[in-house]
Amino acid sequence: MCQACVGKLLGTISALHLCEPQSSIDIDKEISETSATEASVVMQWPPPDKKADIIFHAKLEDGSRIITMDESYNLYEALAIADGKILAVGTFQDIEKLQSYKTRMVCLEEGHTLLPGFIDPHQHTLTGSVIKEFSIDCGYADTRKTKDEVLEFIRTTAKNAQSNDWLLFSLYDNLRQGGDIKHGDLSMSDLNDCAPHNPVFVYYINMHTATANQKAFDTVGINPDPEYYKNHPIKDGGHFGTKDNKYNGMVYEEGAIELFIGPALKAQNLNGSKIRKAIIDWLDYNAELGNTTIHEAGVVVPPGVKLPELLSEYAEVVEGGNCRASVSLMYADDMQPHELDSLSKKYGVDSAEVQKSDAAMTLYGMKIVGDGSNQAKTAAQTKPYLDSVHYGKANYHKGEFISMVNKVAEYGWPVLIHCNGDRTLDHVLEAITLGYGEDAHPLTNAKYINRIEHCTITRSEQLDTMKNLGVQPSFLMNHVYYYGSAYKDQLFGLERANRMDPTQECVDKGIPFSLHTDAPCSNIGPLQLVHAAVNRKCDTTKELIGPEQRISLTEALRAVTINAATHIGRAEQIGSLEVGKFADLVILAKNPYEVDCDKLKDIGVCETWIGGKKTQPKIKVCETYTSGKKTQSHS
C-alpha cells in the first residue's frame, strides 16, 4: 500500500415464532412441507453437461442439514458447486449424477449444518482494523470492568511511556465500565492526573465520543477559547464538551474526533504493510466467525486524496483476505458526478464488470451520519432522555438533510443514513421523500434500497412511512444485548426501551430488515446478532427487553443472509444457496434450529467457504472460538 493511502486510511478513522427448543421434526415442518427426497434438482445454470467440482452431502438421518435460506426454505441432501458457483441443490441421488472422477465429495459430519455465508451489512473495517492494531484496548471485554480500573491502567501505561509520546486508548464503554450515564464519562482532569506528561486520547466504543487530556488539546492546537468554535463550527457536528466555559475533555462526533486521532495514529510509525496486514487480519477474523461478506459503512475521503486510488487500494487488499467486501462512500459536498459515474461502472453492483466477475469488492450507496449515540445522549429525540431535559441534537438541520439527500438522489445512488433518535428519523424521512419521491421505493430498482442505519428509537407511524417509501432498516441488535437494561433504567424508561430495534413490528408490517454489528462498536459475530434478536436478553442482567419484539429464528437468519445481501445490492449473487449464486457458505457445528435458543451465540463455526474455496483460518473456530466468547479484543 502506497504512503498516500496510509494517509487515506488514517483519514477514515473518526469516525420462525418465538424461539423455543425444537426437534428436527419441528424444523422440518417450519422450513418446508417438502421432504428432501421430494426436492428436485434445479438446473438453470450452467450448461447441462457441466460436472461438479465439489459435492456436499448431508445425511438427514444423522442430523446434518443443508438449509438454503431461499424463499422455499427447503431442506436438501446435497449441494453441488462448479467454477465457484452453486451448480445444483436437491437429493443426493440426483446430485450424484453430476459427479466426475475429479469431483471432491464432502460429507457433513453428524449434526453439522450448511447455510449460506453470513453477511454483516454495516461495519467499519478500516477504522476497526487500525484501532485494533495500533491502539491500546481498555474496553469492557478486557480485564478492566470499572472506570477506576481503566484510569489505573492509563496511569500505569503512562509511567512506562516516554514523555510526550501519544497514548491512544480505545473501546472504553461509558455505560458498562462507567457504571451509569451521569458519571460514566472520563474527564480531562482524570486524564491529566493519570498522564500529565503525555497527550492522551480515549476513544469510546460508541465511536461518537472520546475524552482527551490538556496535553492532547494543546498538542493538536485546539483553540484555548471554547467561544471560538461558535463562529468557526467544526464539520459534521463535531464539538467539545465544556463546563464553566472551559473544556472538560469530552470530544464529540467525527469532525472533532479526527483532529486528535489522526495525529495519535501518525505517531505510531505506521506504514503501508502494517495497515494492509491489519485489514487482512480483520477480514480473516470475520471469516473465522462465518462472515463471507462485510460492508464498510462510509469510507471517508480526506482533502487532497483521490477517491479512485483509495478504492483501488482497498480492493487490492480485500483480494488478499478471506472475506468479500462492500463499501459505501461517506457523503461529501465536493463529490464529482463524473468521478462517481466512473466508480459505479467499475465497482457498482449492477455494472457489467462486476456482473461478469467474482468481485471481491463492490460499491453500494452513500452514507450520511445523522446524529450521535444514545449511550452518550447525543442522538436526537422528540422526547427527552430519562430524568433529563436533554433531547440530543442531530448533526445537521432539516434543510441540510434535504440538500444532502437531494444530491445523493441526483447522483442516482441509494442513501444510507445513521439515525439513532426518532427526531433525526423525522428529518431524514422527509428528506428521502423530497429527494427520491416515488423512486424511493425499491420496486423501481430492486438493487437499490435506501437504508436507515441502526434505526434504534422509532415511533410506529415512522415505520409506516418507511414501508410506504420502501426504506428499510438495518438494526444494531447488540444495542439490546449490551445496553438494554441501561436503555430502560437510565436513558428512556420501559416503554421506549421495549421499542428499541423494533424487529417484530417490522415483520408484522412487512418491512424487510438486516442485522449488523457496527464493529468495532460491538464485537464481530453474526450468531450473536441472531441470538440477540431471538431472545432480546441482556448479557449481564439477563433482563428481557421488549419481549413483543422477539422474532423467529428464521427471520433472524434471513436478516444476516439474504436480507443483508439485498441491503448491499448483491442478492442475485449471494445470501442464499441457489443455483447460479456464488458458493459462499458456512458450516456450523450444530443446527441452530435444534439448540436451545439461549445458546445460539455459542454455536461453533467449523468452516467458511467463499466462491467454492475453503478459507484458511489461523484457528479452528469450532474448537477454539464461538460467537459468544470474548471478541472485542479482535475488533
* pLDDT at residue 619, as a whole number: 43
Q: Comparing C-alpha atoms, which of 426, 412, 435, 504 is closest to residue 465?
A: 426
* pLDDT at residue 358, as a whole number: 84
Residue 21: Cβ within 10 Å count: 12
Q: Comparing C-alpha atoms, which of 99, 182, 184, 98 is closest to residue 146?
A: 184
* pLDDT at residue 446, as a whole number: 56
Instruction: Using the predicted structure, report yes or no on whether residue 18 has a pLDDT greater than 50.
Output: no
Instruction: Using the predicted structure, report yes or no on whether residue 629 has a pLDDT greater than 60.
Output: no
Instruction: Using the predicted structure, report yes or no on whether residue 349 has a pLDDT greater than 80.
Output: yes
Instruction: Using the predicted structure, report yes or no on whether residue 15 has a pLDDT greater than 80.
Output: no
* pLDDT at residue 448, as a whole number: 87
Do the beta carbons of residue 31 and residue 75 sit within 8 Å?
Answer: yes
* pLDDT at residue 485, as a whole number: 96
SS3 letters across 197-223:
CCCEEEEECCCCEEEECHHHHHHHCCC
What mean pLDDT is predicted for residues 472-494? Answer: 97
What mean pLDDT is predicted for residues 131-152? Answer: 91
SS3 258: helix
* pLDDT at residue 45, as a whole number: 63
Instruction: Using the predicted structure, report yes or no on whether residue 465 has a pLDDT greater than 80.
Output: yes
What mean pLDDT is predicted for residues 305-310? Answer: 87
* pLDDT at residue 356, as a whole number: 75
DSSP per-residue letters across 447-464: T---EEEE--S--HHHHH
Amino acid present at 347:
Y
Sorting pLDDT into bands at 50, 70 and 90, what band is 439?
Answer: low
Q: What percentage of the chain exceeds 70 in pLDDT?
A: 87
Helix extents (H) in 396-524:
398-411, 422-436, 460-469, 478-486, 493-498, 503-509
Sorting pLDDT into bands at 50, 70 and 90, what band is 633?
Answer: very low
- Which grid cell is 56? 456436499
Instruction: Using the predicted structure, report yes or no on whether residue 27 has a pLDDT greater than 80.
Output: no
* pLDDT at residue 352, as a whole number: 82
* pLDDT at residue 106, as a whole number: 96
Instruction: Using the predicted structure, report yes or no on whether residue 518 has a pLDDT greater than 60.
Output: yes
Degrees (nearest 5) of the Cα angle 624, 630, 635? 105
Sorting pLDDT into bands at 50, 70 and 90, what band is 5?
Answer: very low
* pLDDT at residue 534, as a whole number: 98
Task: For the chain, give the mean pLDDT.
Answer: 88
The two counts, helices (H) then strands (E), for the chain are 23, 24
493-507: per-residue pLDDT in tens?
Answer: 999 999 999 999 999
Instruction: Using the predicted structure, report yes or no on whether residue 41 has a pLDDT greater than 80.
Output: no
What mean pLDDT is predicted for residues 517-521? Answer: 95
Give Cα separations from 584 to 81, 117, 290, 302 (angstroms): 10, 5, 10, 34
What mean pLDDT is predicted for residues 159-163? Answer: 95
Contacts of 377 (CB under 8 A, 6+ apart): 181, 385, 388, 390, 392, 491
Sorting pLDDT into bands at 50, 70 and 90, what band is 270?
Answer: confident
* pLDDT at residue 158, as a whole number: 96
What mean pLDDT is predicted for residues 101-124? Answer: 96
396-433: per-residue pLDDT in tens?
Answer: 999 999 999 999 999 989 999 999 999 999 999 999 99
Sorting pLDDT into bands at 50, 70 and 90, what band is 443?
Answer: very low
576-607: per-residue pLDDT in tens?
Answer: 999 999 999 999 999 999 999 999 999 999 99
Cα 60 from chain centre: 34
* pLDDT at residue 442, as a whole number: 53
